[in-house]
């Protein structure tokens, strides 16, 4: 490679490529779906009511095991209509919270959406090729045994922490719903 | 020699980030934070509540000097209810215990169409202003109903106030104190990134020199001991 070509690459093309990559990454941050739109998609024909579940110490331990970090909140609100419930939870991907919406019909996942993504990596988790893997997933395990999903969720290279966040929130939602139904809350 | 020990120690520490919890500890040294250019953003708004203070700095919400939530873009008031301290934040309510522990960040979608634009009290009841309607919250803050019997002037609305300068310093410290983890600092130290652009180049040069030295040393060792060869050759 001649000096001239090298200079052209270093001064001309490379900065543009790097700027483009950085812009693309930052461009993926933002609000993908408003809460109201998510609820409208979850309950197209009905008006949901709000219910809450309190996080006691036993539940807190299970949540900490699922998410692999302590959980601070003392209660969680969710929307219910008939046998369907919708949940919106924040979970840290690498450094910042990802806002994730999950809809459960009966005891299986009906819809999962990334509503707000605030990190610069791992945004691929918002695409259907990834989120569709959760559809129909149910919870296995109980409070006494470690809980998990009954479906295999394939990860995405370079987005492991975001993938873990979505998987963790899905398990949390199914576990809390199971608890809410079991306790009649 | 000192340099090699420094590289080894930082390398070992980086290998045990999680065990040493370095990803959860933060750099607090003032000059280092300045070196990184970590500056606290201006106060968005702040409200005094029950002898405490809640403040929005950037997108981080603080109760006194404790961060209670992040990703917050609006703060419209805070009041002390019988069971909770309630902070109105646009499209959500943040409920805290009296000691500031987070109970819940509750989204108001589907309940208050315009979010909470203001929060106040009428007697013991908590009311919220949303799209020119006043809503009354139930005790658990689960449901909200239009309070047609309440006029705007009946309500003691939460109003913002300036953060006293001594509290502001504490807040800025708290904000900056969670800017750089020890893990990041050690990685920057190990790679040389801490010392501007020249740092990584210097570390690269040192690394290359170490490779050259190692290779040359191995070659010399394989060639045998020079002294013995001299003896075998005999004096000239």
Residue listed under structure tokens 């002037």: B153
Q: Which of A50, A74, A88 is the closest to B103 by Cβ?
A: A74
Give residues with Cβ within 8 angstroms of B180, minimum separation 6: B26, B27, B32, B33, B36, B38
CB atoms within 10 A of CB B219: 9
Per-domain residue ranges of chain B: 2-38+182-233, 43-176
In chain A, domain spans: 1-29, 32-183
What tens digit of pLDDT does each residue of A99-124 get? 999 999 999 999 999 999 987 778 88
Binary contact (B97, A72; C-beta < 8 A):
no
For A74, the closest chain B residue by CA position comes to: B103
Contact A99 B71 (CB under 8 A): yes
- Asked if B104's CB is within 8 angstroms of A77's CB, the reply is yes
Residues in chain A, overall count: 185
| Inter-residue contact A90 to A121 (CB < 8 Å) | no
Q: Specify the long-range contacts of residues B223-228, CB closer than 8 Å, at least 24 apart.
A: none
B-chain residues within 8 Å CB-CB of A36? 109-110
DSSP B155: S
Contacts of A73 in chain B (CB under 8 A): 102-105
Residue of A nearest to B106 (CA): A77
Report which of B159, B139, B134 is spatially closest to residue B95, judged by C-alpha positions: B139
Residues in B closer than 8 angstroms to A75, CB to CB, are: 95, 103-104
Q: Are B123 and B90 in contact (CB under 8 A)?
A: no
Residue A51 with chain B: CB contacts under 8 Å: 142
Could you list the pLDDT tens digit for every one of the 236 residues in chain B? 677 787 888 888 888 877 888 877 888 777 787 787 777 788 999 999 999 999 999 889 999 999 999 888 899 999 999 889 999 998 899 999 999 999 999 998 888 888 899 999 998 899 999 998 999 999 889 889 999 999 999 999 999 999 998 899 888 888 877 778 888 888 888 888 878 778 888 888 888 888 898 899 888 888 876 555 555 555 54
Task: Decide if A50 and B70 are in contact by the 8 Å CB cutoff.
Answer: no
How far, in Å, CA of A185 to CA of B104, rounded?
17
Which pTM does this prediction carry?
Answer: 0.70
Taking an 8 Å cut-off on Cβ atoms, the answer to whether A48 and B110 are in contact is yes
Would strands B133-137 and A139-140 be described as parallel, antiparallel, or unpaired?
unpaired
């Amino acid at each position: 490679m001649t000096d001239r070509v090298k200079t052209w690459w270093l001064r001309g093309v490379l900065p543009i490529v790097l700027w483009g990559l950085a812009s693309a990454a930052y461009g993926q941050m933002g609000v993908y779906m408003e809460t109201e739109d998510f609820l409208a998609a979850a309950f197209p024909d009905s008006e949901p009511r709000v219910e809450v579940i309190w996080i006691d110490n036993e539940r807190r331990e299970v949540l900490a095991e699922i998410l692999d970090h302590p959980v601070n909140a003392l209660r969680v609100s969710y929307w219910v209509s008939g046998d369907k419930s919708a949940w919106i939870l924040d979970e840290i991907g690498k450094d910042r919270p990802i806002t994730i919406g999950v809809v459960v019909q009966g005891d299986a996942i009906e819809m999962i959406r990334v509503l707000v993504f605030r990190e610069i990596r791992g945004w691929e988790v918002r695409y259907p090729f990834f989120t569709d893997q959760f559809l129909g997933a149910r919870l296995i395990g109980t409070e006494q045994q470690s809980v998990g999903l009954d479906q295999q969720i394939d990860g995405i290279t370079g987005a492991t922490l975001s993938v873990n966040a979505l998987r963790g929130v899905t398990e949390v939602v199914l576990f809390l719903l199971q608890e809410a139904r079991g306790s009649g809350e | 020699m000192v340099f090699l020990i420094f590289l080894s120690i930082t390398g070992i520490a980086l290998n045990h980030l999680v065990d040493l919890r370095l990803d959860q500890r933060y750099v607090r040294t003032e000059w280092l934070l300045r070196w990184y250019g970590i500056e606290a953003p201006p106060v968005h708004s702040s409200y005094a509540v029950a002898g405490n203070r809640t403040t929005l700095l950037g997108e981080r919400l603080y109760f006194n000097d404790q961060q209670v939530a992040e990703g917050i873009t609006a703060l419209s008031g805070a009041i002390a209810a019988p069971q909770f301290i309630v902070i109105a934040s646009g499209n959500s309510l943040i409920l805290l215990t009296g000691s500031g522990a987070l109970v819940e960040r509750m989204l108001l979608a589907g309940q208050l169409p315009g979010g909470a634009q203001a929060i106040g009290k009428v007697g013991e009841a908590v009311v919220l202003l949303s799209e020119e309607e006043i809503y009354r919250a139930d005790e658990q803050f689960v449901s909200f109903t239009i309070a047609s019997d309440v006029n705007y002037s009946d309500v003691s609305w939460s109003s913002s106030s300036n953060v006293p300068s001594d509290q502001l310093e504490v807040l800025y410290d708290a904000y900056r104190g969670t800017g750089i983890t020890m893990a990041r600092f050690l990685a920057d130290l190990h790679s040389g990134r801490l010392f501007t652009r020249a740092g990584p180049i210097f570390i690269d040069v040192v690394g290359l020199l170490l490779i050259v030295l190692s290779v040359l040393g191995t070659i010399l060792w394989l060639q045998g001991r020079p002294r013995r060869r001299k003896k075998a050759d005999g004096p000239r």
